[in-house]
Structure 1
Amino acid sequence: MSSVVVKSGLVVAALLAPVATQAQISEASAALYKARLADNAASRFSGMSASPLTSAAAVPILETVVQWDRLRRESYRGSFREYSNFMLQHPDFPQNLLLRRLAEKAITADVPALERIRFFERFPPLSAAAKLRLAEAQLATGQREAANETARDAWDSAGLDIETERALIEGFEAALRPQDHLGRAERLLWNGQITAAGRLLPRLDMDRRLWLLARIALRGDSADAPARLGGVPASLRREAGLVRDEALWLRKRGRLAEANALLADFRPAPGGVFDPQQWLATQLDFGRAAWRAGDPGRAYAIMASHASHVPGTDLAARPLGERQALVELEWLAGWLALRKLGRPADAAPHFRAVRAAALTPVTQSRGDYWTGRALAAAGDTNGARQAYEQAALHGDYFYGQLAAEALGRAPQLRKAPPPLLAPDQVSTFRAEPLVRALEALTALGDRERQSIFLRTLVAKAETPEEHALVAGLATPLNRLDLGVLVGKWLRGMGSAVVPYADGIPLFEASWPVLTLPDVLIPRRTIIHAITRQESQFDRTARSPANARGLMQLLPTTAAETAGKIGMPVSTERLDTDPIYNVTLGSAYFSRMRENFGSDVLAVAAYNAGPGNARRFITLNGDPRMPGVDMIDWIESIPISETRNYVQRVLENAVVYDQQFGTSQGNAPLSRWLGKSSPG
């Protein structure tokens, strides 16, 4: 069987070029389906398919799309059987979790047990109420032990309402053990649901009742909290949940110094934290506040004592939210030890923990780079070099670029070799329901739903060949953002599943290049760098704040900028005319650059506004002045979105400089940062 090497998205695009026109849909059919989809959006639901006059023009895949579009609406009241039949027949259709939640809400007492079991075997229950419905079905079909296990799972679930709670007690009280009640009490208390926790009082032993009453008093900010706390048995007094509740109570009462001392002096037994994510978030919250208040030593002591995991725990296997909290806490603890306390030997283990918890290159390179900084400061030159080498593997990311500079070389953009693609793989891909739905939506000009199906295709792709096929849709669909979406997914979540050890996958699709007029060539690096972060090259992108187009301009900002440079004002053209959009966007950036005299400050101002950029200077010092470290300054930006934005835009600029041949020397990122020394 012959095959072709996919050297770029252009090869796949040529193979898939008919994708936008393959679906043969008459004008009458297109009008009909547009109307039906519009009715869905307006909550005007009709059970009718095409009318008899137009039934000959019915398009089966669009019938499926219309049904999916109806079922995903919160305002639609479909039967459980309707949801179940659709999802079992079309398990790969978009917004699966939403459909599952809506299907679960549609389960009523009269839904047969076998129908429930059939559905939940394919889609395990998400909500406590759905778990109860499954337990009832298992009990009705003679699966008592399975029913008891499901009931216990429901009892331990978040979001258990009082009606479901009563039903569980009524139907499965004998199956609920003391440890189940204690676990539920813990979960409720960590989530601040003290009323529901109070209902468990009769189900706990005497010591735990005293413990529960104290925690309820603390979380409820009761005046008798100290007395309740004093009544807790000594064996339970040093539990993380109780200490956390006491610290929060002290802070509410204006006794922050006591709260900080409590957390700094407390170290839970390894593995003894019921909810590591919330514990880490609390430690980070108090630690960051202490640092901002000018006490880095106290901040470090609070965060360094978290002991949220047993030594040897595979941190990368922990849930996403928990890993994110751990990464932020460990990074800040390490940074404070290194940069504020002058304790590099203490800093290095924290940065190694960041690396151990990381699944994505952006965080892996961050952990490795700062490990290198700490080891270098501690005099371990060889260890520092090894850490920098690991970070530098990711030359398309901020800290990978800095690590390369620290090693005395320019960042390397290692591009993964192109996959081999056989013709039968193309035909198989074209036959997939998601792709056929995408073709039909393209024929309707339905960009909004098209985007939903595209994202699902990206997440569903599992092999380099499938990734190339999905990215190859970018050109025939005129969707440059699709290539960026695939590339970012593969460099993020996807790379944790599908290894691209040889470099960056689908580089050309992931880093698209616009055709610009000559007048914009001097600004093309920053145009591309900002556009890739702002809109991912989706020319019709619109934010919740009404920022529009490639460079995500607010209409007011665009109008002001147009007036300053003598261009006509047109809000509509922000979406429809890419050159108009990037002309105004780059002009606005140039104005910020002229005002602040710094690319970093200009990028921060582009994201957060010039007022916030000035506030950052007041808070963290002026990075344009000697003695202010630019990397520390960026990491100290108090708005996490802006902190991330600055790093992503500047790393994009380095990549595009290399693409355009405008990169200079071995310290291209430091040039953008305004740093005199590399790395």
Structure 2
Amino acid sequence: MRLGTGLVLSLAVIAVILGPGLIGSWRDDDTEPTGSITPAEQIPASAPPDRPPASAEPFPIAALPDTKPAPEPIEVRWPEPELEAFREALALYRANNIIEGDAAAARIPDLATRDTLEWIAIRLGNPDVDLARLQSFARRNPDWPGAAALRRRIETQYLRSRPASADVVRTFSAQEPATVAGRIALSVALADLGQADRALEVARTVWREEALSAAARRTLFDTHGAGFSADDHRARLRTLLYAENWEAAQETALRLGRDEAALADAFAAVAKRARDAGKLLDAVPAALWDRPEYLLARARFDRRADKLETAGSALIKAAEPNKAANTLAARQGPTEAAAEADNDAAQAGDAEPDDIAAPAAAADSAPDIKVIAAPKVIAAPTPASAEAGEPAADQATLDMLAVGPRWALEQRLVARALLDAGKPKAAYEIAALPFATSDADKIDAAFFAGWIALRFLKDADSAAEHFATATPHATMPISKARIAYWRGRAAEAQKDEAASRGFYNDAAEHTTTYYGQLARTRLGLGEVGVRPLPEPSQEARRDLAQMRSAQAVRLLIKAGETELILPFLAGMAASLDADRLAALAEVVEEAADARATLVLGKAAAHRGKPFDVPAFPTFGIPDIDTTAIEGPMIYAITRQESAFNGQAVSHAGARGLMQLMPATARETARGAGLPYDVTRLTSDPAYNARLGARHLGELVDRWGGSYVLAIASYNAGPGNVRKWIAAYGDPRSPNIDAIDWVERIPFSETRNYVQRVLENLQVYRERLDQKTALLIEKDLHRGRRASP
């Protein structure tokens, strides 16, 4: 495979589950690729089933009860005629024949079956599914997957169908809009009712923070444009530039005048790597050189020109307004748990595009760039600032903040470039700057600064402080283990043995993670320690049988529609307790689908549940000759590459279980004496696995048995690996710390990939071969160097 292929969704899942459109993934440039798929909405927590609506509002999706009546055991059956009727209606919905599909569904007596069909009809995005129908389903099934996406559809219908303004305002008085469409609809309704000040307040926030489609821009500007200030347009320009939405940015810049247009042109030229980018930057009026968007463009341009000191100076200057706690804390990004739930949703197909927000508009030279907009502003002061007696920052101050994912990325790139240039003090200074807003970026920033301090500056005290600041933000097992392990390393360097062991013990609890396994070896624990799946109670089985969402899962399995159960599993795994999750795992066993098993197990494991067994399925790959490479490695790669989706095709073109690029597959087939057929890469899992195993074995042989180099090559290609050996040394050498070598990989996707595959390998050796010995240290250092 190649960079950016990661965990991918099959075209079938996209067509059936996501409906029209596709959420894109991105990479910044040649030094920071990513293979994540970012869904539009997070899966909400599931709730007890079959509850009457909490209110008469049009979509009472939240506010679910804490208790439910004691369930009675029931047996759910679907006679074959009913299954055939289900398949008939489903085929009609898929053919976009909503009228005949509705008629076929109406002939089915079972409510759970009809609701399952209704859920599918809604998610297929047929425009004939009107507002009343969406609201009715939301009331009946608040715990079904995709509630956030359903709410998006409902709020979009409010904007398009324009119901009575009083109804819109009443709806959003009970539950604030969760989408751009909802906020625009509310602002228009408030204006219609003569509440001009409140309408403008809502509209101004949308105008400042959202890129918007052309139609949404017209609606908002036609209704409220006269009330927007120049500062509102400047904030919007910044949002659009960060999002790389050049057409809308130019439109906004022209409203502000020639100087702003020059700034927009220069920013775009840098992003597109235009030859005249430097001249355009210099031509921006000096009065705008303190603006965050100018400083970001300057840092990016200078970094690419290897002017690392000036790039760093731009970042240092940009960070100055961020250092006041009452201003920086007023910006927020997603929590780590929310971001991981988004990833689980994407893997399960539980995401839906938003046609009100503007589509991605990537730079010409980097077609995989993801849109990054400005982080949201919270109006109220944070507790930290309030306790300190500091006033909330005014809007003008907030507008000058240089924070968010775009800044956090540039910070990492500059800091890593400085470290590679042999300037660890300068790298540390940049790494320690406050740009991050999301939990994930805060963890990465604190870790990177701490790691530089510990491993390059030998400053264990500073390292310990940085690692400690990451701890509150680390809520997922991988991050918890990572931070605890490095806190242990820092404490060890401080000669505090008791503290060190305590941190290693904390990390070692997360037995299926890379740093948890390294901590176990540090403690002398020689086994992986895979946790068995708990046996569900009879009460849990009865409870699950009563849940309509669980009945839908059973129905879809019976009907052979395994793809469609994935969003249900991700949603239910996000909220059910371990007992009911174990009961759900029994149901999923009926599907005999490795991908479904993984979705359930992984989402449950992210919540700390003991679901190691389903999180690492031991089926889903046909039996093949594995003499080229150990069998557990094939599973380790496949779990990370395709999540056992044999039809997966990445945006980069990698295909099938082991995500082979066609050119690589052709070359490997030739060497194996096999006929090459590109269609078999996605239609024949055994063919894909056989070629993938052979290719992986060839990479291991090429690198003298080194797993680290082979895994990195599988993701990023041997050419990049050769560059990293030249820059950072050879991890096969006893003089090179392999843990540090992996952390120095400049591609974030590959860095993560190597760690995930190695942790998977340890688990699969126990799951497949019953070899419980923990060999991660050996795997990191294995291999022999070629003779000079």
TM-score by length of 2: 0.67
**Cα offset, 1:653, TM superposition:** 1.8
Q: Give the secondary structure class of the aligned counterpart of 1:472.
A: helix
CA contact (8 A) 1:354 1:364 kept: no
Q: What's 1:347 paired with?
A: 463
Measure, in 2, the Cα distance between the counterparts of 1:255 and 1:518.
52
Q: Deviations over 1:557-578 (max 9, x none)?
A: 5666566557787777766776
Q: What's 2:40 paired with?
A: none
Letter in 2 for 1:133: A
Letter in 2 for 1:285: L
**Cα offset, 1:146, TM superposition:** 5.6
**Cα offset, 1:525, TM superposition:** 2.5
Q: Deviations over 1:580-603 (max 9, x none)?
A: 655554343333222222122222
Unaligned runs of 5+ in 2: 1-72, 269-276, 329-400, 784-788
Q: Does 1:632 align with 2:760?
A: no
CA contact (8 A) 1:238 1:268 kept: no
Unaligned runs of 5+ in 1: 1-15, 203-208, 310-317
Q: Does 1:651 align with 2:759?
A: yes
Equivalent residues in 2 for 1:295-374, closer than 5 Å: 295-304=423-432, 306-308=433-435, 322-374=438-490
CA contact (8 A) 2:668 2:691 kept: yes
Q: What's 1:7 paired with?
A: none
Q: What's 1:280 paired with?
A: 408
**Cα offset, 1:397, TM superposition:** 0.9
Letter in 1 for 2:633: I
Higher mean C-alpha deviation, range 77-86 or range 446-455: 77-86
Q: Does 1:662 align with 2:771?
A: yes
**Cα offset, 1:124, TM superposition:** 4.2
Q: What's 2:572 paired with?
A: 457
CA contact (8 A) 2:415 2:430 kept: yes
Measure, in 2, the Cα distance between the counterparts of 1:224 and 1:651.
47
Q: Could you say if the C-alpha distance between residues 265 and 338 of structure 1 is closer, same or farther in structure 2, counting changes exceeding 3 Å?
A: farther
Q: 1:432 aligns with which of 522, 530, 547?
A: 547
Q: What's 1:72 paired with?
A: 123
Q: Does 1:489 align with 2:596?
A: no
Q: Does 1:509 align with 2:614?
A: yes
Q: 2:85 aligns with which of 29, 36, 40?
A: 29
Q: What's 2:395 paired with?
A: none
**Cα offset, 1:293, TM superposition:** 4.1
CA contact (8 A) 1:630 1:675 kept: no
Letter in 2 for 1:426: R
Higher mean C-alpha deviation, range 583-592 or range 563-572: 563-572
Q: 1:394 aligns with which of 502, 510, 529?
A: 510
Q: Could you say if the C-alpha distance between residues 670 and 523 of structure 1 is closer, same or farther in structure 2, counting changes exceeding 3 Å?
A: same
Higher mean C-alpha deviation, range 24-33 or range 630-639: 24-33
Letter in 2 for 1:276: V
CA contact (8 A) 1:364 1:391 kept: yes
TM-score by length of 1: 0.76
Q: Percent identity?
A: 28
CA contact (8 A) 1:194 1:219 kept: no
**Cα offset, 1:292, TM superposition:** 3.6
Measure, in 1, the Cα distance between the counterparts of 2:99 and 2:178.
28
Measure, in 1, the Cα distance between the counterparts of 2:242 and 2:669.
52
**Cα offset, 1:265, TM superposition:** 6.4
CA contact (8 A) 1:372 1:383 kept: yes
Measure, in 2, the Cα distance between the counterparts of 1:104 and 1:410.
54
Q: Could you say if the C-alpha distance between residues 481 and 148 of structure 1 is closer, same or farther in structure 2, counting changes exceeding 3 Å?
A: same
CA contact (8 A) 2:532 2:613 kept: no
Q: Deviations over 1:524-567 (max 9, x none)?
A: 32233233323444556554535223x44556656665665577
Q: What's 1:443 paired with?
A: 558
Letter in 2 for 1:72: R
From the two aligned structures, give the one with the greater helix fraction. 1
Q: What's 1:590 paired with?
A: 697
Q: Does 1:289 align with 2:403?
A: no
Measure, in 2, the Cα distance between the counterparts of 1:535 and 1:566.
26
CA contact (8 A) 1:17 1:476 kept: no
Bigger CA radius of gyration: 1
CA contact (8 A) 1:395 1:411 kept: no
Q: Does 1:472 align with 2:528?
A: no
**Cα offset, 1:669, TM superposition:** 0.8
Q: Give the secondary structure class of the aligned counterpart of 1:135.
A: helix
Measure, in 2, the Cα distance between the counterparts of 1:578 and 1:17.
38
Q: 2:312 aligns with which of 254, 260, 276?
A: 260
CA contact (8 A) 1:189 1:197 kept: no
Measure, in 1, the Cα distance between the counterparts of 2:302 and 2:632.
51
Q: Does 1:674 align with 2:781?
A: yes
Q: Could you say if the C-alpha distance between residues 246 and 82 of structure 1 is closer, same or farther in structure 2, counting changes exceeding 3 Å?
A: same
Letter in 1 for 2:123: R
Measure, in 1, the Cα distance between the counterparts of 2:533 and 2:147.
33
Q: Could you say if the C-alpha distance between residues 574 and 262 of structure 1 is closer, same or farther in structure 2, counting changes exceeding 3 Å?
A: closer
Measure, in 2, the Cα distance between the counterparts of 1:648 and 1:543.
19
**Cα offset, 1:476, TM superposition:** 0.7
Higher relative contact order by CA 8 Å / sep ≥ 6: 1 or 2? 2
Total equivalences in the alignment: 619
Equivalent residues in 2 for 1:43-442, closer than 5 Å: 45-49=97-101, 56=107, 61=112, 63-73=114-124, 76=127, 78-106=129-157, 107-108=159-160, 110-117=162-169, 120=172, 124-138=176-190, 147=199, 149-160=201-212, 187=239, 194-195=249-250, 198=253, 201=256, 219=267, 230-231=286-287, 243-244=295-296, 246-248=298-300, 257-264=309-316, 267-269=319-321, 270-271=323-324, 272-273=327-328, 274-277=401-404, 278-304=406-432, 306-308=433-435, 322-411=438-527, 413=529, 415=531, 418=534, 421-423=537-539, 425-442=540-557
Measure, in 2, the Cα distance between the counterparts of 1:388 and 1:415.
19
Letter in 2 for 1:281: L
Measure, in 2, the Cα distance between the counterparts of 1:261 and 1:162.
37
Measure, in 2, the Cα distance between the counterparts of 1:250 and 1:180.
29
Letter in 2 for 1:279: W
CA RMSD of aligned residues (A): 4.4
Q: Could you say if the C-alpha distance between residues 624 and 150 of structure 1 is closer, same or farther in structure 2, counting changes exceeding 3 Å?
A: same
